[in-house]
C-alpha cells in the first residue's frame, strides 16, 4: 500500500481503509493536556523569531460532535457506548467526557482496519 494520509484519522479510516487491511498501527493520540501547541519559525538567518502559528489545541469540549460520536458508538459497539454513557452520567458532559468519546470512536475504527495478526502500539 505505502500510503501516507493527512487529515482527521476518523475520516481517513472510514473513507479510505477496508476492514482488516493494516498490519501495524502506531498511535500517538492527544492526551487531553488542556494546552495549545504552536509551530515556531526561525528568521531567514536561522535565529529565533516571534513568528508562530497554532499547530494543535489539545482541549476538548462536550458538544454536538461528542453527542454524534456517542450515538455512532451505540450502533457499532453497544457495550462500549453503555460504559461511556455511565461515565458521562457520573462525570458530567465535560472536557474529559468529550475526550473519551473522541478516543473511543477512533479506537473502534482502528480495530476495524487492523488485521487479526496485526499490532497496535501507543
Residue 111 belongs to some domain of the structure: yes
Predicted confidence pLDDT, tens digits, the chain (122 residues): 678 887 788 999 999 999 999 999 998 888 888 888 888 777 777 777 777 788 888 889 999 999 999 999 999 999 999 999 999 999 999 999 999 999 999 999 999 999 999 999 98
The total number of structural domains that make up the chain: 1
- Domain of residue 81: give its range: 9-33+60-121
Q: Which residues touch 54 (CB under 8 Å, ≥6 apart)?
A: 36, 37, 38, 39
Name the pTM for this structure. Answer: 0.82
49: in domain: no
Asked, for residue 101, whether it belongs to a domain, the answer is yes
Amino acid at each position: 500500500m505505502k500510503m501516507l494520509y493527512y487529515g482527521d484519522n476518523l475520516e481517513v479510516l472510514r473513507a479510505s481503509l477496508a476492514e482488516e487491511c493494516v498490519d501495524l498501527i502506531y498511535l500517538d493520540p492527544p492526551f487531553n493536556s488542556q494546552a495549545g501547541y504552536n509551530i515556531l519559525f526561525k528568521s531567514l538567518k536561522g535565529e529565533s523569531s516571534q513568528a508562530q502559528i497554532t499547530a494543535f489545541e489539545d482541549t476538548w469540549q462536550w458538544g454536538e460532535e461528542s453527542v454524534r460520536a456517542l450515538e455512532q458508538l451505540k450502533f457499532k459497539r453497544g457495550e462500549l457506548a453503555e460504559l461511556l454513557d455511565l461515565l458521562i452520567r457520573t462525570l458530567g458532559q465535560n472536557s474529559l467526557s468529550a475526550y473519551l468519546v473522541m478516543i473511543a470512536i477512533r479506537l473502534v475504527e482502528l480495530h476495524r482496519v487492523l488485521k487479526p495478526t496485526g499490532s497496535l502500539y501507543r
